């Protein structure tokens, strides 16, 4: 008997044959008993038994989409959660089927009895759970855009959904928004939750007092308060210590924990419970939303407000699980550049004690050590984090398996940055390639991959930084042969593996494409901003009819008006930061592109990239300098020396002097690019200061002299060239290229004796005996 | 170090070339055919390149060697048009160089087949020594450089590379004679004397020649452009990924599978409607009946603590009905009561609490915090308009009187609070009444 028949029978005609009705009821009770035991098997992790029952059910309720749905879920867990693709196929199939059945049922009911309630079929063929599961699966596969677009229709109608499901959808949307750095979407969801579940950016103090309901909670309030004070002082006191040593920090933490215990206050670690396992009391929800509020503020880098809100989160968390709040506090200190404090808070949060979160602990500690410039320690921590992730994956039983705690790809990305900082391009590239599953839509990872290629090539071509002079013959017949214009490849270059300049070029063009796309979207969304605000209002209006009588929320809004302003301003500040960062990345991508094209001997493309670089609005002076230099060289290679000269003369002062193309401050500013939000704390002497090494302003000026000299030399103006190159060599005395140019000019002027002296004085020249001598020795 | 890519000639090849250069007694034809047979055509360019470099230095090769070297360069490209010869310009400038021997220049003009210099074949039949010996300078006139360049210059190939740096590259040897200070490096005393002990500063020309041949490379010396590598993009703090555990989004089991969805569906639908508007009496009756028929229905009728306030506002009777039915489940009821306490004071919420007190026994703490909340609502309503406040005070007074009369609360628990409330709002008639009621109970 088809379930559709039974339901429509009940719905359409109550006065039907009584025996038939009771038969239906019998079938229903048998199936619902089976359904219950299937659920209990599922919950206790007996997936095989569960599937057996589901097969029985399927025979009774042929093609019931819900049975098929649960079967797919059970199969997935039985297979160790490894076949995500297959699960998605099956779930999509179920979804399609239930939608077809739903529309068929609706038509049927309306045909039989127009105007009747269609809720029966609505419930029977409702695909909300299926849709949610599809979104969850995409989320775990790090496909945030897909996941979000699938949830969007559910969110539009969220008021009509069952509360638990609605909460799950909202939390998933929040996590998606955080993972994809989408502050606007985050706020849309958060605002809804605020209104529907009544905890928001608004005033929390007055809520706090009324929340205390039962007397045992109420009477405890005072003791809780005092204990929270104690706990806080414990935490603070352990933070005062100045040592950075990991063991010491751990010791301090144990001490703190002991004291906390004596207060009779142990935070239960709530992190490892799944959403559905947690019972969401209003108070739990309040804490959870408060934590998300802090995450939002951290995302938008509004550190001041985040500090205030995290304090409040700590207060709420005191009688529950404070590990999450402590972790966020640690992140806040990290963002502030207070690495010692961040480290201690991280340890106090206690997340290293759970196998499920120890990977996260190690990763975050690794980040701190990276910022401190301690790459060795950082690398050990990242590898440890990766190991604990993979051991988590192999853990049995599958029930405790939690895909979402598998952050290995994020850790791998960090590892890649670390390898890059340590000058190991091959390993770095491997990491970035792995992590690209998650980050392939982000331009930055493509820039990093290109940097790996370029670094590999540079380390493979060490010889380019030296002049080799072959010494041939002896005595009166001793001759020098200068070897230049040739790359001498080292054996090491074989190690470059797949890293090559063409790969760098491909990566850079991917990055440029993605960046242009997102810049385009940005300007589009700016134009449509009025439209989206309008949509928000309608959304709010629809959610407001839940709580239209709830004047409390209106009141809160009135009070929280200031807060809304702060949120909006931090949102727009974040948008500014994001677009500034995009432009910075664009500059880097284009500069690298021009460089790579020159290396690949494509002056036309190099010129195009350099010209686009020079057109980037508010381009950093450093990149303007590079843009001019690359463009000039490309023009030389295209036999357009006059235009090349024009690029260089942009920096000319008078006839024959160059100004500094940029100041040291420009470089510092560029290196710290987004530090305006934490300028007071970031110390330029720490770790990442040595990340990017570049020409000092004086050296850049020297390069201008040398390049103009080279250009003049090719034009036959040897005397002018000589003056330029002499100037260049006072600024960059040991520069190989400048020395070669100088030697060339000397020889063109017939002053080979000068050239000889120059070569003998330059420290970067190696005199190599001819092969005969080598063989003889 | 792997240098095979840069060094052009093999050791054997350079030895061959050296011995050919020294074959000044053989007819040049023979020398050239030996060159053909001993060296592959693939190495011709390399050989010519090295020879041209040595020819630029006038002292490296002696007269016969220079003749043979030019002969080899000519021979390598003799089957093609002169303009294909990459070393053409060097041959032209040598032919016009007045510092060179006239015999050599005439030889070059023959190779270039300029005007009446047309008997290359005859000359090549001689040996290099014979050619120089039989050369008669008086029978020759030499062209100007410009003349020759006009003749061949247009046809000259620009060479393998075409950009300005490569075009201007220089192939030159630097002299670095290693002789004692103050000595003339050109003096023959520094040549190696056969049999004699080598003295400081002496050098063997042949050794230098083979060294040059072996080590020569294709590249010349050209001005170099400084091309700084772009700096590595700095790692901003936000690029390094700090991980924040998200909620565990597990797959959800669909627990509506095979559930008896027909039962209670009407109630659920009506209740959804009831959150937004007052239900008709018959609808309310339907809900009450269904809830009574199925005592478990109340747990999945769709009303949760968070939805309760809306139901209270629109359908207080139904709310009372549901709360009464929930009385068996302490935990859930507590959640619902908390929602009642937290919602705003209103006639409906008080009505619900009032009715509830008569139907079931409520936790004392709940009633107490509810009353506290009522009183503080009245006080807070000051900021709003006076009329609303008075109305609220009146309601609270009536509510409290009802509770006291029905013995729901023990006045003593709340005496001070309620008394203060009455005094504060003594201007309201009902408050005065309540105050009197309190006095009578004292």
A451, A491, A736 ranked by CB distance to B232: nearest: A451
3-state SS, chain B, equals CCCCCCCCCCHHHHHHHHHHHCCCCCEHHHHHHHHHHHCCHHHHHHHHHHHHHHHHCCCCCCHHHHHHHHHHHHHHCCCCCHHHCCCHHHHHHHHCCCCCCHHHHHHHHHHHCCCCCCCHHHHHCCEHHHHHHHCCHHHCCCCCHHHHHHHHHHHCCCCCCCCHHHHCCECCCEECCCCCCCCCCCCHHHECCCCCCCCCCCECHHHHHHHHHHHCCCCCECCCCCCCCCCCCCCCCCCCCCCCCCCECCCCCCCCCCCCCCCCHHHHHHHHHHCCCCCCHHHHHHHHHHHHHCCCHHHHCCCCCCCHHHHHHHCHHHHHHHHHHHHHCHHHHHHHHHHHHHCCCCHHHHHHHHHHHHHCCCCHHHHHHHHHHHHHHHHHHHHCCHHHHHHHHHHHHHHHHHHHHCCCCCHHHHHHHHHHHHHHCCCCHHHHHHHHHHHHHC
Supply the pLDDT for residue A533.
34
Comparing CA positions, the residue from B54, B12, B10, B396 lying closest to residue A479 is B54
In this model, does residue A64 exceed pLDDT 70? yes
The reply to whether A585 touches chain B by the CB within 8 Å rule is yes
- Cross-chain residue pair A478–B203, CB shorter than 8 Å: yes
Copy the structure tokens of residue A27. 């079938």
Within an 8 Å CB–CB cutoff, is residue B290 touching chain A?
no
Burial A579-589 (b: 16+ CB within 10 A, else e): eebbbbbbbbb
| DSSP 8-class letter at A326 | H
Nearest residue of chain A to residue B229 (CA atoms): A595
Contact call for A402 and B248, based on CB within 8 A? yes
Split at pLDDT 50, 70, 90, the class of A236 is very low
- Looking at mean pLDDT, say which of A117-131, A485-499, A639-653, B407-421 comes out highest: A639-653
pLDDT tier, A278 (very low <50, low <70, confident <90, very high otherwise):
very low
Arithmetic mean of pLDDT, A550-575: 60
Best interface-test mutation with B: which of A212, A448, A476 has the largest number of B CBs within 10 A?
A: A476
Name the residue of chain B whose CA is nearest to A409's CA.
B241
The residue that leads in pLDDT, A177 or A737, is A177
Closest CA to A119 of A8, A21, A31: A8
Mean residue pLDDT of chain A comes to 74
- In this model, does residue A551 exceed pLDDT 50? no
Mean pLDDT of A268-282: 47
Find the mean pLDDT for residues A21-36: 66
Q: Which of residues 23-52 of A touch B (CB under 8 A)?
A: 28-29, 31-32, 34-35, 38-39, 42-43
In this structure, the number of other CB atoms found within 10 A of the CB of residue B238 comes to 15
- Please give the pLDDT value at position A625: 95
Residues of B in contact with A581 (CB under 8 A): 236
pLDDT in tens, A289-325: 889 999 999 999 888 889 988 888 888 887 677 888 8
The pLDDT score that the predictor gives to residue A197 is: 72
Residue A766 DSSP SS3:
strand
Model confidence at A112, in pLDDT bands (50, 70, 90)?
low
Query: What are the phi and psi torsion angles at A482 (to 5°)?
Result: -90, 125
At residue B199, the pLDDT reads 63
Cβ burial of B144 (10 Å; 0-12, 13-18, 19+) is exposed
> Shortest Cα distance from A234 to chain B (angstroms)?
24
Residues 65..124 of B with a Cβ closer than 8 Å to A: which? none
Q: Which residues contact A48 (CB under 8 A, 6 or more apart)?
A: A78
Contact A772 B302 (CB under 8 A): no
pLDDT digits (tens, 9 = 90+) for A330-389: 999 999 889 999 999 998 888 877 777 788 899 999 999 998 888 999 999 999 998 888
Report pLDDT for B279: 86
- A328 interfacial to chain B (CB closer than 8 Å): yes
- pLDDT of B189 reads 66
**Mutation site for B-interface testing, chosen from A549, A732, A742 by largest number of B Cβ within 10 Å:** A549
| pLDDT for residue A540 is more than 50 | no
pLDDT attached to residue A330:
93
In whole angstroms, what is the distance from residue A685 CA to residue A370 CA? 13
Q: Which residues of A touch B276 (CB under 8 A)?
A: 545
Query: Contact A706/B219, CB-based, under 8 Å?
Result: no
Q: What is the mean pLDDT of residues A110-117?
A: 55
B314–A549 CB contact, under 8 Å? yes
Residue A460's pLDDT is 62
Contact A485 B221 (CB under 8 A): yes
Q: Give how far A445 is from chain B: nearest CA, Å.
A: 10
Residues of B in Cβ contact (< 8 Å) with A282: 305-306, 335, 338-339, 342
Q: Where is average pLDDT lowest: A529-543, A559-573, A712-726?
A: A529-543
Question: B62 and chain A: CB distance < 8 Å anywhere?
Answer: no
Q: Which residue among B167, B185, B254 sits closest to A70, beta carbon to beta carbon?
A: B254
3-class DSSP string for A64-100:
CHHHHHHHHHHHHHHCCCCCHHHHHHHHHHHHHHHHH
Of A140, A474, A485, the CB nearest to B169: A485
Contact assessment for residue A478 and residue B203, using Cβ atoms and an 8 Å cutoff: yes
B179 at A interface, C-beta within 8 A: yes
Higher pLDDT, A537 or A308: A308
How many CB atoms neighbour CB B380 within 10 A? 14
Q: How far apart are CA A291 and CA A183, in angstroms?
A: 15
Low-confidence ranges of chain B (pLDDT < 50): 1-6, 156-162
With a cut of 80, say whether residue A495 has pLDDT above it.
no
Q: CB contact, 8 Å: A695 with chain B?
A: yes
Structure tokens at A618: 């508010």
- Collect all residues of chain B within an 8 Å Cβ-Cβ radius of residue A545: 276
How large is the ipTM? 0.76
- Is 0.90 topped by the overall pTM? no
- The 10s digit of each residue's pLDDT in A424-474 is 889 999 999 999 888 888 899 999 999 999 888 877 654 455 677 777 777
């Amino acid at each position: 008997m088809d379930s559709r028949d039974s339901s429509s029978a009940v719905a359409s005609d109550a006065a039907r044959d009584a025996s038939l009705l009771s038969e239906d009821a019998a079938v229903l009770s048998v199936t619902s008993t089976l359904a219950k035991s299937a659920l209990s098997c599922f919950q206790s992790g007996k997936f095989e038994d569960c599937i057996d029952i589901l097969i029985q059910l399927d025979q009774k309720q042929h093609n019931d989409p819900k049975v098929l749905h649960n079967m797919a879920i059970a199969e997935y867990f039985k297979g160790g959660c490894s076949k995500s693709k297959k699960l998605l196929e099956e779930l999509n199939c179920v979804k399609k089927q239930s939608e077809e059945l739903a529309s068929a049922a609706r038509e049927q009911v309306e045909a039989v009895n127009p105007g009747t309630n269609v809720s029966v079929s609505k419930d029977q063929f409702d695909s909300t759970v299926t849709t949610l599961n599809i979104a969850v699966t995409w989320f775990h596969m790090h496909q945030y855009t897909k996941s979000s677009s699938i949830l969007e229709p559910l969110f539009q109608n969220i008021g009509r959904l069952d509360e638990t499901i609605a909460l799950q959808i909202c939390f998933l949307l929040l996590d998606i928004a955080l993972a994809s750095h989408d502050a606007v979407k985050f706020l849309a969801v958060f605002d809804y939750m605020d209104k529907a579940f009544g905890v928001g950016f608004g005033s929390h103090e007055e809520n706090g007092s009324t929340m205390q309901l039962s007397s045992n909670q109420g009477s405890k309030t005072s003791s809780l308060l005092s204990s929270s004070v104690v706990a806080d002082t414990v935490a603070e006191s352990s933070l005062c210590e100045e040592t950075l040593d990991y063991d010491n920090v751990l010791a301090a933490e144990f001490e703190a924990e002991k004291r906390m215990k004596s207060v009779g206050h142990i935070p239960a670690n709530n992190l490892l419970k799944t959403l559905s396992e947690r019972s969401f009391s209003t108070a739990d929800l309040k804490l959870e939303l408060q934590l998300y509020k802090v995450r939002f503020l951290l995302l938008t880098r509004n550190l001041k407000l985040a500090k205030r809100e995290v304090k409040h989160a700590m207060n709420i968390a005191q009688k529950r699980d404070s590990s999450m709040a402590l972790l966020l506090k640690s992140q806040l200190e990290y963002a502030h550049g207070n690495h010692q404090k961040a480290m201690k808070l991280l340890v106090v949060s206690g997340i290293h004690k759970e196998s499920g979160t120890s990977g996260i602990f190690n990763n975050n500690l690794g980040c701190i050590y990276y910022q401190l410039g301690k790459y060795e320690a950082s690398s050990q921590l990242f590898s440890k984090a990766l190991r604990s992730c993979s051991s988590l994956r192999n853990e049995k039983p599958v029930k405790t398996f939690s895909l979402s705690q598998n952050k290995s790809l994020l850790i791998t990305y960090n590892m890649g940055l670390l390898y890059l900082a340590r000058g190991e391009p091959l390993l770095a590239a491997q990491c970035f390639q792995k992590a690209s599953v998650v980050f392939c839509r982000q331009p930055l990872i493509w820039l990093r991959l290109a940097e790996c290629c370029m670094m590999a090539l540079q380390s493979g071509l060490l010889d380019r930084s030296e002049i080799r002079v072959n010494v041939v013959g002896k005595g009166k017949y001793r001759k020098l042969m200068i070897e230049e214009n040739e790359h001498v490849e080292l054996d090491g270059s074989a190690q470059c593996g797949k890293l090559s300049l063409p790969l760098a070029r491909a990566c850079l063009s991917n990055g440029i494409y993605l960046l242009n796309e997102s810049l385009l979207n940005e300007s589009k969304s700016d134009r449509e901003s009025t439209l989206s605000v309008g949509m928000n209002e309608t959304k709010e209006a629809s959610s407001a009819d839940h709580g239209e009588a709830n004047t409390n929320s209106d009141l809160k809004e009135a009070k929280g008006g200031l807060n809304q302003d702060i949120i909006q301003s931090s949102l727009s500040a974040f948008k500014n930061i994001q677009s500034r960062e995009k432009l910075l990345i664009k500059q880097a991508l284009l500069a690298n592109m021009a460089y790579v094209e020159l290396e690949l001997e494509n002056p036309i493309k190099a010129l195009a990239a350099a010209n686009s670089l020079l057109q980037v609005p508010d381009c950093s002076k450093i990149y303007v300098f590079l843009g001019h230099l690359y463009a000039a060289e490309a023009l030389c290679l295209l036999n357009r020396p006059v235009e090349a000269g024009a690029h260089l003369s942009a920096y000319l002062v008078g006839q024959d002097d160059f100004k500094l193309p940029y100041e040291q401050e420009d470089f510092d500013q560029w290196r710290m690019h987004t530090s305006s939000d934490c300028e007071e704390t970031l110390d330029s002497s720490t770790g990442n200061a040595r990340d990017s090494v570049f020409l000092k302003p004086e050296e850049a000026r020297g390069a201008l002299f040398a390049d103009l000299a080279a250009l003049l030399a090719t034009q036959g103006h040897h005397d002018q060239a000589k003056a330029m190159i002499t100037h260049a060599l006072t600024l960059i005395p040991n520069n190989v290229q400048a020395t070669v140019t100088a030697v060339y000019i000397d020889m063109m002027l017939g002053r080979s004796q000068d050239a000889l002296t120059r070569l003998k004085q330059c420290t970067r020249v190696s005199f190599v005996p001819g092969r005969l001598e080598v063989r003889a020795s | 170090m792997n240098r095979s890519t840069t060094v052009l000639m093999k050791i054997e090849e350079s030895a061959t070339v050296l011995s050919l250069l020294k074959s000044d007694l053989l007819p040049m034809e023979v020398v050239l055919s030996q060159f053909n047979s001993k060296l592959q055509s693939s190495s011709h360019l390399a050989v010519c390149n090295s020879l041209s470099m040595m020819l630029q230095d006038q002292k490296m090769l002696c007269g016969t060697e220079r003749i043979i070297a030019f002969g080899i360069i000519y021979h390598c490209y003799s089957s093609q048009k002169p303009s294909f010869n990459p070393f053409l310009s060097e041959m032209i400038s040598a032919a016009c160089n007045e510092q060179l021997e006239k015999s050599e220049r005439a030889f070059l003009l023959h190779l270039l087949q300029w005007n009446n210099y047309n008997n290359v074949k005859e000359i090549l039949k001689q040996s290099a020594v014979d050619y120089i010996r039989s050369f008669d300078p008086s029978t020759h006139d030499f062209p100007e450089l410009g003349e020759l360049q006009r003749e061949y210059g247009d046809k000259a190939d620009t060479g393998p590379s075409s950009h300005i740096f490569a075009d201007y590259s220089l192939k030159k040897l630097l002299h670095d004679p290693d002789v004692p200070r103050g000595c003339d490096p050109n003096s023959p005393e520094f040549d190696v004397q056969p049999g004699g002990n080598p003295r400081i500063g002496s050098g063997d020309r042949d050794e230098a020649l083979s060294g040059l041949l072996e080590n020569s490379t294709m590249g010349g010396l050209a001005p170099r452009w400084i091309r700084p590598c772009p700096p590595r993009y700095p790692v901003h703090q936000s690029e390094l990924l700090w991980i924040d555990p998200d909620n565990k989004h597990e797959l959800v089991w669909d627990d509506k599978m095979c559930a008896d969805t027909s039962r209670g569906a009407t109630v659920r639908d009506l209740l959804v409607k009831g959150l937004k508007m007052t239900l008709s009496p018959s609808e309310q009756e339907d809900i009450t009946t269904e809830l009574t028929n199925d005592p478990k229905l109340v747990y999945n009728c769709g009303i949760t603590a968070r939805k309760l306030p809306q139901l209270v506002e629109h359908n207080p009777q139904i709310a009372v009905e549901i709360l009464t039915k929930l009385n068996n489940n302490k935990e859930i009821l507590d959640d619902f009561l908390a929602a009642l306490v937290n919602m705003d004071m209103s006639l409906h919420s008080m009505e619900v609490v009032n009715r509830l007190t008569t139907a079931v026994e409520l936790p004392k703490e709940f009633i107490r915090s509810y009353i506290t909340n009522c009183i503080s609502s009245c006080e807070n309503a000051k900021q709003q308009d006076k009329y609303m406040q008075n109305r609220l005070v009146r309601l609270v007074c009536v509510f409290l009187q009802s509770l006291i009369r029905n013995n729901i609360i023990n006045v003593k628990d709340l005496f001070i609070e309620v008394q203060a409330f009455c005094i504060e709002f003594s201007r309201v008639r009902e408050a005065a009444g309540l105050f009197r009621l309190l006095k009578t109970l004292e």
